[in-house]
Amino acid sequence: MSKREQGFTLIELMIVVAIIAIIASIAIPNLLSARLNANESAGIATLKNISSAQAQCQASGVIDTNSNGAGEYGFFGELSGKTVTRGATQTISPPVLSAAFGGVALARVSRSGFLFQMWLPDAASGAIAEDATGGDTGNDNGVDSGKSETLWCCYAWPQVHGNSGKRTFFINQSGDVLATNAAVVTYNGSTTVPAFTAAFLSSTSINGSVAANSLGSDGNTWVVVQ
């Protein structure tokens, strides 16, 4: 009987398995790194889209709870057209942000391996989160109408740190995206989430300087993403 008819020997099979294991040990980390980079790039792009949506919302004046003619910034539920705007009975139509951001849960939106949370100012320039399922339909969360004409901020952090992403990102009305590698405080899903002042120099207010290329109030270094 020929060798071909006998099939592979045990040694040959072991060599093949070893080669496959070596290739996998090289390829899998590269694939994971590529996925992390892709998720983080998508997170940055999403924050920039959110910034554009906020600018459109404010400029249109569709949210104007104090009726002074100056538009206000909105929550995800409002920007996506899922909920009525604060102090009104209508939704933004057409919405300025993708309807996917209407899927708010625990005041956060999940996209591309990241959790996103929007904050609007209260009377003391602290920050208010939206309703658990989006927006502020009762207009009772304490958002300050005057300050929300000029202030807002949003964070994005990994759903599973090290698996869906490593860095945490931030943006506000300035339009600059900041990032931290979370060397001191690691943000991870619903286990450890950034406080609304994490990327600010102040630990109490969002009406102040952000920690651009310096330490934030959370102790992490935040750098401007180019």
Whole-angstrom distance, CA of residue 93 vs CA of residue 76? 14
Look up residue 179 and give its DSSP letter.
E
**Is cis: bond before 194, omega within 30 of 0?**
no
Whole-angstrom distance, CA of residue 54 vs CA of residue 200? 20
Cα distances (Å, whole numbers) of residue 18 to 8, 24, 32, 223: 15, 10, 21, 43
Which contacts (CB < 8 Å, 24+ apart) does range 10-16 have?
none
Whole-model pTM: value is: 0.86
pLDDT, tens only, 107-154: 999 999 999 999 999 999 999 999 999 999 999 999 999 999 999 999
Looking up tokens 């919302």 gives: 57
pLDDT of 1 > 50? The answer is no
Whole-angstrom distance, CA of residue 51 vs CA of residue 198? 19
Among 47, 49, 69, smallest CA distance to 59 is for: 69
- Indicate the length of the chain as a whole number: 226
Coil, helix or strand at residue 187 = coil
Confidence of residue 47 (pLDDT cuts 50, 70, 90): very high
